[in-house]
Chains A and B, each alone.
Chain A
């Protein structure tokens, strides 16, 4: 075997061609993502920057803003300025709404998980043909109009709704139980709205579960409960985290559900923010409230990233 002597020209020619051709085609293809990035950049990202700016401005009397720097929006979140002596007084009204929303979101996430996990597991253990039907049946409400679905709940729990009518007819009660426009109504609506958001990610994680591991666990004397807690649940952790996030984030920022089922009496963060842009006419306050919600979401996303990265993926 001999090694042919190489002319330096051949060397540089091949190398430079590689560099040029690959880079040129890669750059050309990269440009294809520009239209999407420009549209989202201008009409998605820029508006977020604008509300950051707005949150440091002063509210104009009839909505909108006046270009004057102020931190009032953030101060107003926790304090109220006394009109007479200009002192700040701690007013927890907004904080209470945030905490209540947080509580709603947590309860929703937990109950959705308790209902969703067995459902997803049951779906994942069906024969393939049956499984497809189950997935379609869960996918339909996932994508169905949330307003209409919330309306369906409203019709059932109204004073003259199906539940009260049935109970009255059966003589269990003699006057309707008030369910609509209560915290219960909101909680029920949130559960109803976000249950499919829990089931689908759990399912896609459980579907990939290697049941030979379950067999191995039984072979090693584990009971059903032990198999569930020690094998199945740990292996489906990525799905559980994804599902919880997919429920928690939209539940925390829910707008339609409390709007219809809370009747403007029991507010959640979403309604509070919208109010500042409507009857409240305090855009900077609304922007500040939105950013505080965004911060909460980012914290949740941060936990998600920290919990999912750096882990060995199964499968």
Chain B
């Protein structure tokens, strides 16, 4: 055991040396020994720690310790569980509602962004998590929502709430248009076609100067407005209040996100949701049992697009500005990462995924240029450690454990 670990350590060190020294050391004509060896020693240090950790893990002391910690944790968490579900959810909601009064604008701005991505993640979850259709161009629907609202507002002065239904309709239409040619395709062919559609929509927005002002972007859309009763001049009158401040925008997106959570939760347990899962698991079998697969797959795309379009309209209204380069391929990847990292098909998982991918990088702003390096590395490490995501959906978890023996076969297909 020890020998094998040492052997492993030596081989890894050799690899690191080969990989790090030329790339880091040779930035100019001279070999920058100090720079290269600093980076190398940090990496070897990390490697050494993991090796020590792996060795320790085998000792009885660690095993006992691990067990004790786990017991403690279960006991502590068990106490939280004592709260009945409605009370827990109620207090959570209460906290979310009070949050803006305790936080500053920056934290609220981060929270708004997280909620936007929660909405996006849940929408993509319908397509990827439930119906099992890989989508690498999801951000296009977000763009469609943003541009629909912007154009309607700028050209016809339609306010946010009345523009939303248009956004929803156009978003779902786009979903169907993208969904239709992909019906015959499976897996990775689907991936590249959706990626292509995403890029096409972005490029059309960028090139269609007369309508979208191309890369200049659209500027000056109204914020959402609310009509509130006021009793100022004796007697009841109604005033229109534009939601300018960040806390008020927070409540709008909180409502959107909550509605999305409820909708996706209901879908998950509905006939449609179960039919989607059947399609995901075995399309041919699902079709044979009488599930209208074509219709349901289109529905998945359309519904997924609706949530993104709503989030997009909100995003455009919040910034009062939109630009095609906000909707690049990498954004689609971020949303997909939220879904997979959080746990496909699991609502709490996706919320956690959005928090992890949007809020945590904000904490590390001081890292500046190292931030994305850490982001990428953490993504791989997380996937390797927890391939099924932070919080796997209960149904899926069950499947995964049943599959333990079959997985080999599945991999062979």
Interaction A to B: no
